[in-house]
Amino acid sequence: MKYKGIIYSAILLIVFILLSILMTSYIQPIVVTVGLLILSLPIHKLITKNNIFNSKTSAVISLIFVNGFLFIIILFIGNFLFTHIRGFIRNQYEGFIVDFVNMYNRIIPFNKIDTFTIKEGLKGAFHNVFNSRFLTKGAVYTTEQILTYFIGNITAYFILSDTVSICDFIKKIITEENYYILCEKSVEVKKLFKILFLSVGVNTIITIAGFSALSVENSIVLGIVCGLLDIIPYVGIFIIFIPLFVYYITIKQYIIAFGIILLYILLMVNTQMIQTKFMSNKLQIHPLPMVLALYIGMKNFGVVGMIMGPLYVITVNEFIFKPKFDKIYGVK
Same domain, 84 and 230: no
Q: Are residues 252 and 313 in the same domain?
A: yes
CA atoms of 321 and 317, how far apart (whole Å):
5
Q: What is the pLDDT of residues 214-247, one digit of tens each?
A: 888 778 888 888 877 776 655 567 777 888 888 8
Pair 209, 117 in one domain = no
Q: What is the Cα–Cα distance from 203 to 205, expressed in whole angstroms?
A: 5
Q: In this predicted model, what pLDDT tens digit does every residue of 290-308 receive, in sequence order?
A: 778 877 887 888 777 877 8
For residue 302, give the nearest of 234, 205, 206 by alpha carbon: 234
* Whether 190 and 309 share a structural domain: yes
Alpha-carbon distance of 21 to 35, in angstroms, equals 20
Domain limit, last residue, from 129, 161, 193 = 161
Same domain, 132 and 188: no
Same domain, 101 and 185: no
For residue 240, being part of any structural domain is answered with yes
> How many angstroms separate the CA atoms of 53 and 57, rounded?
6
Q: Are residues 133 and 89 in the same domain?
A: yes
Residue 155 and residue 113: Cα distance in Å, rounded? 56
pLDDT of residue 332: 43
The list of the chain residues with pLDDT below 70 reads 1-3, 5, 84-141, 185, 188-189, 192, 231-236, 274-287, 318-332
CB neighbours (10 Å) of residue 79?
10
- 126 Cβ neighbours under 8 A, 6+ residues apart: none
Measured distance CA(226)–CA(204) in Å, rounded: 7
Among residues 132, 161, 190, the one where a domain terminates is: 161
Which residue range forms the structural domain that includes residue 306?
Answer: 175-332
Number of domains present in the structure of the chain: 2
Label residues 127-144 b or e (16+ Cβ within 10 Å = b). Answer: eeeeeeeeeeeeeeeeee
Are residue 153 and residue 222 in the same domain, yes or no? no
Residues 156 and 185 in one domain: no
* pTM score, whole prediction: 0.55
The answer to whether residues 148 and 29 touch, using CB atoms and an 8 Å cutoff, is yes
Same structural domain, 188 and 307? yes
Residue 16 lies in a domain: no
Q: Tell whether 5 is covered by a domain.
A: no
* Residue 216 falls inside a structural domain: yes
- Asked which of 135, 161, 187 is the last residue of a domain, the reply is 161
pLDDT at 113: 66
Is 237 contained in some domain? Answer: yes
- Looking at the structure, tell me whether residues 111 and 221 fall in a common domain: no
> Do the domain assignments include residue 1?
no
Q: For the purposes of burial, counting CB atoms within 10 Å of the CB of 275, is it exposed (0-12), middle (13-18) or buried (19 or more)?
A: buried
Look at residue 19 and tell me if it is in a domain: no
State residue 97's pLDDT score.
Answer: 67
- Enumerate the H helices of the chain as residue ranges: 4-25, 27-49, 55-107, 115-130, 134-161, 163-174, 176-213, 219-229, 238-250, 254-282, 287-301, 303-315, 324-329
Domain-embedded: residue 12: no
Judge if 266 and 318 occupy the same domain: yes
